[in-house]
Chains A and B, each alone.
Chain A
């Protein structure tokens, strides 16, 4: 099955700096890669996703890049703000046997943005 590795496990940046979180996946058939933000005591909230037919996607201060050859994808947050502080999870779908709905998540990155 799919295996997703996420790094770093913790990341501390100064307000206004950029933050980058990287993930690798194992299943070359995966074709959908969402990123979720989870605040303490809440459920994961989708912030951006990318499908394998594009290499990059941007939404205001957030961007995701995908390298299918290397099987890795990254989240980039620019001009970080204290409210960006949360745990971020990457995920990849399992696309074997037509079952492309099952998401495998990384272990998460605790991002702290210091004012």
Chain B
């Protein structure tokens, strides 16, 4: 079956711009996660959705980062006033609660 998909696969933007990253989870998965992976590091937790609500957003680095999942399926990670330090691979994962997390291919964000 189809796995987790993320768009765009690559995004180049300028410092100060706004970006949106999209995640399409595996059909039927109620749990959705966003992680950020910097070069040479493991993924770091950003936010967890159970259904439509953000159950835990403790990993979001600051208030420039925001994520939504209005219908309990597709999720969008939004970054305002991007900074060069935001450059990383943004990974989305989905699963059933307390079960395996299946990752997508990621969106590679480069802020110039």
- Give the B-binding residues of A (Cβ under 8 A): 4, 6, 32, 34, 36, 41-46, 49, 89, 91, 99-108
Contact = CB atoms under 8 A, between A and B. Distances in A.
B41 A43 contact: no
A43 B4 CA distance: 10
B106 interface: yes
If over half of B's interface residues share one DSSP class (helix, strand or loop), that class is named, otherwise mixed; here it is loop
B100 A34 contact: yes
Contact of B106 (A43, A89, A91, A100): A43
Contacts of A34: 100-101
B108 to A, nearest CB: 8
Given A43-B91, A101-B31, A101-B48, A91 B42 contact: yes
A89 B98 CA distance: 19
B91 A44 contact: yes
Interface string B13-35: 00000000000000000010101
B43 A105 contact: yes
A107 B42 contact: yes
B43 A44 contact: yes
